[in-house]
Amino acid sequence: MASNILVHAPAGAVAYAVELARAAGSDLGLVLTAIDFAQEKVSGGRVEEDRSYAGTTFQTFDEPIFIGSAIAQLAGHADAVVVDSIEDWSVRLQRRFPDDPVELEAEVSSLTSVMKAGMSRLILIVRDAGPAQALAKKILATLDPFTQCVVDVRGGAPKIVRGALPR
């Protein structure tokens, strides 16, 4: 069942996000934003490969900026897509588009479009935002209307903050 879940998490791979993804099916996608710009591949910046994340194999894209299109490509076949992470993405958006709010907004809109489309279960991970806190908060406020469930796992056991998990 397609749904959008936001998971507030501590640092590191998030086992609970994997649990939510696996509950949706066996074809799993992962978008990792933590790639240095200098390491981006010339052919669009993405690397698609099977990779272990919190002990589970995902079809993975390394994508620091254009996560909406990466999610859409994975969601075309995946039962669930995990994005790690929104606060890291906000830092990278600020670095890539420091003086171009139109481009920055276009990338956020791309993510909300994918969320609206409901192509698969989408699990968005967010941690404390650090240097991009203002932008991360703005992004989270923009995503909020399209998020069916918010879960906090920073204290260990998952705590549903808003909404309900899909069955």
CATH number where 136 lies:
3.40.50.300
Q: What pLDDT score does 40 carry? A: 52
Confirm whether 128 is domain-assigned: yes
Q: What pLDDT score does 26 carry? A: 95
Confirm whether 145 is domain-assigned: yes
CA distances from 105 to 5, 96, 97, 100 (A): 21, 12, 10, 9
pLDDT averaged per 10 residues, the chain (length 167): 92 94 96 71 61 93 91 93 95 92 96 95 89 86 97 94 91
Confirm whether 65 is domain-assigned: no
Task: Sort 87 into a burial class: Cβ within 10 Å, 0-12 / 13-18 / 19+.
Answer: buried
Q: What's the number of CA atoms in the CB half-sphere (13 Å) around residue 86? A: 29
Containing 165, the helix (H) or strand (E) segment is: none
Confirm whether 115 is domain-assigned: yes
Residue 119: closest CA among 86, 74, 57, 149: 74
Q: What pLDDT score does 115 carry? A: 97
Q: What is the pLDDT of residues 57-87, one digit of tens each?
A: 999 988 889 999 999 999 989 999 999 999 9
Confirm whether 81 is domain-assigned: yes
Q: What is the pTM of this model?
A: 0.92
Q: What pLDDT score does 39 carry? A: 52
Q: How many structural domains comprise the chain?
A: 1
Dump the DSSP string for 100-114.
Answer: -HHHHHHHHHHHHHH
Confirm whether 90 is domain-assigned: yes
Say whether the peptide bond before residue 109 is cis (omega within 30 degrees of 0): no
Boundaries of domain holding 104:
3-56+70-163
Q: What pLDDT score does 166 carry? A: 87
Expressed in angstroms, the distance from the first to the final Cα of the chain is 8
Q: What pLDDT score does 162 carry? A: 96
CA distances from 91 to 58, 97, 103, 135 (A): 24, 10, 14, 8
CA distances from 128 to 61, 87, 133 (A): 23, 7, 8
User: How far is C-alpha 30 from the geometric centre of its chain's CA atoms?
Assistant: 8
Confirm whether 12 is domain-assigned: yes
Q: What pLDDT score does 14 carry? A: 94
Q: What pLDDT score does 74 carry? A: 93
Confirm whether 120 is domain-assigned: yes
Q: What pLDDT score does 63 carry? A: 87
